[in-house]
Structure 1
């Protein structure tokens, strides 16, 4: 079993993807197992609201508002760019496309996937290819975890009904966790394991509500969604970051855009967004399975393709005399490191 778990752990987004698919398999082949009642049904199927609520509580506790000014600014720029492009695409599909979908790709899935990002992958990639301000931006980018931003977009556009009381009820666990985590380091440390511990159980419960045939058919569109996230979400984040550098009059060698490319992913917890929103607006229930499947496929797709995108950008920047080291030196008031520009320039 240990060997099997290690092999499964190599799958991108395994903590969310594997339990979700197992839940879908069990629900499709032996649904009676999940209907035994008592703790079995509560844990593996009907207890999803409690699991998601606890997950968002733990996530909120890990959002740190204390960071250096450049890191906060960079995080805000990336957050607005990623969210903006997600909402733009989602609403375009909802209101302009004839049937309100893009070849079966749902607006709910588009906004949920493109507005969310894999924080662990972001930190890992910015640690390897970026600098301190790149990594520090995660303190702001953590806001896009969970269904909150997707809920705002769909509610404002009239695509779903979210009463204020229901909206508050949905975000209150994360807000309480946020306050608790930022006022008590002990509480933050205590709740940190829950961010990962709860994911596989919530994922299985989500999968238990998905028919496996839906994953095979509608989930295929998630590949398109994943590529859209990498190209358009990453592209928008990079462009916004470049404009921020220009407006702040940063020297050309410091205009590092690695953090923008590293934001071009979909986090595994985004798979829970359709189910979370359907708990508030039951009219979304019929599309939860399809939307979850599309987001799940996008998670895997971005996890495979986005790291190559970041590595290419880091290499391109260095060939053109731009580096994270130069940016960091500039903020710290040190002389910029001398880099040889690409011969073509």
Structure 2
């Protein structure tokens, strides 16, 4: 059976499929963890410790010694996405209380849901899109998107916007695994090589545990329509500054900006992770998780479509020129090598 192959064909499938399996367990067998106990209970309810290991591995995988072009493109997209999320949260915090909205169409919406949906780009989706619609440098620009992973940037945005206050030791405790991993990975390439696979390996495990906090019955509530609306807002509100930054700072056509306007699969874990260290978000963490999960699915479907449309309208010429230059350079180097050998 080609289970992994089938999961890879689903945008964010490595995260979403185990998440759905966990949600099915929570919906139809909510007492299973307490019934089985032991290791089974641990893997069904251990979101925080599994996330801690994943966060460490993500830190260890980050290597900043990239080429100048890739670093400029990647840095432009990451910084722009974070600044856009910060501005959106800053405005939203003026009208949405910390405990979220409890009535009307927007019931369930919170600052926590907004920041977790807005601030993380699906790096795998971006890289695959730019393989088809961009240059080699643009495809490689996902190198810094790992910095957005985990609750670190979400917590920084919440703090900087005044939407939340974190005690220094709580903030340090939340980011310490990431920083230790980053330090070890850059001090010793062998350690980076050893820990980096954990970033992928841990995703289905924390996704399954996270799914065990979601009752699928909530999807029959107004949260479904609200989640779709939030997903479309993520695309529109982040794509506009990302397109401008890509064109005028990154030197691109704007295609990379649209490709980066998605919600990362791992973002679904952030509401619960943040609530674990910031109890003021306990009441909204579950609804925020559902909304972010819907954003992951919707943006994974919509962003590739609009990226292709934008590329055909504006980006094809520049991308084709860059590819031709790459082929000419490769041919010239090959011919030079042939002459040397002769």
Classify the TM-score, shorter chain: 0.7 to 0.9
Q: How does 1:256-335 map to 2 (within 5 A)?
A: 256-318=253-315, 321-323=317-319, 325-326=321-322
Give me the CA root mean square deviation: 2.7
CA distance in 2, matches of 1:5, 1:225: 30
Q: CA deviation at 1:135?
A: 2.6
1:38 aligns with 2:67: no
Which of the residues 91, 94, 112 maps onto 1:108? 112
Verify the 8 A CA contact 1:220 1:297 in the aligned structure 2. Answer: no
Aligned to 1:194: 198
CA contact (8 A) 2:135 2:322 kept: no
Residue of structure 1 in register with 2:86 after alignment? 87
Query: Does the CA contact (< 8 Å) of 2:23 and 2:214 recur in 1?
Result: yes
Deviation at 1:300, TM superposition (A): 0.8
Q: Is the 8 A contact 2:135 2:319 kept in 1?
A: no
Question: 1:222 maps to what in 2?
Answer: 227
Question: SS state of the match for residue 94, structure 2?
Answer: helix
Q: CA deviation at 1:122?
A: 1.3
The separation in 2 between residues aligned to 1:6 and 1:138, in whole angstroms, is 22
Change over 3 Å in CA distance of 1:22–1:38 after alignment to 2: same
How many Å separate the matches in 2 of 1:143 and 1:26? 32
Shift of 1:306: 0.8
1:229–1:328 Cα change, 3 Å: farther
In structure 2, distance between residues paired with 1:77 and 1:6: 33
SS in structure 2 at match of 1:193: helix
| Equivalent in 145, 148, 155 of residue 149 of structure 2 | 145
SS in structure 1 at match of 2:273: helix
Partner residue, 1:336: none
Is 2:10 the partner of 1:11?
yes
Instruction: Report if aligned partners of 1:27, 1:34 keep a CA contact under 8 Å in 2.
Output: no
Structure 1 residue matching 2:318: 3-state secondary structure:
coil
- Closer/same/farther in 2, CA of residues 304 and 108 from structure 1, 3 Å limit: same
CA distance in 1, matches of 2:7, 2:145: 28
Is the 8 Å Cα contact of residues 211 and 289 (structure 1) preserved in structure 2? no
Structure 1 residues 190 and 317: CA distance shift in structure 2, 3 A: same
| Selected match of 2:186 from 182, 185, 188 | 182
Task: Report what 1:124 is aligned to.
Answer: 128
> Following the alignment from structure 1 to structure 2, what is the Cα–Cα distance between the partners of residues 241 and 265?
15
Distance 2:6 2:140 in 1: 31
Residue by residue over 1:102-152, the C-alpha shift from the partner in whole angstroms, topping out at 9 and shown as x without a partner, is 823322111111110111111111222112321332222321111111101
**Please, which runs of 5 or more residues in structure 1 have no aligned partner?**
246-253, 334-345
Cα 1:328/1:110, change in 2 over 3 Å: farther
Instruction: Name the CA shift for 1:271/1:298 in 2 (closer, same or farther; >3 Å).
Output: same
> What TM-score, normalized by structure 2, do the two folds share?
0.85
Query: 2-side partners of 1:261 and 1:111: how far apart?
Result: 19
- Separation in 2 of the partners of 1:118 and 1:60? 17
Alpha carbons of structure 1 residues 274 and 255: separation in structure 2 relative to 1, 3 Å: closer
Structure 2: distance between partners of 1:207 and 1:154: 24
The residue aligned with 2:162 is 158
C-alpha distance in structure 2 between counterparts of 1:126 and 1:147, whole Å: 26
Q: C-alpha deviations, 1:56-112, integer Å up to 9, x for none?
A: 111112212011222222222212221122222223223135895582332211111
CA distance in 1, matches of 2:190, 2:80: 33
Residue 162 to residue 26, structure 1, CA distance change in 2 (3 Å): same
Task: Tell me if the contact between 2:111 and 2:163 (Cα under 8 Å) persists in the aligned partners.
Answer: no
Whether the 8 Å contact between 1:12 and 1:300 is mirrored in structure 2 is: yes
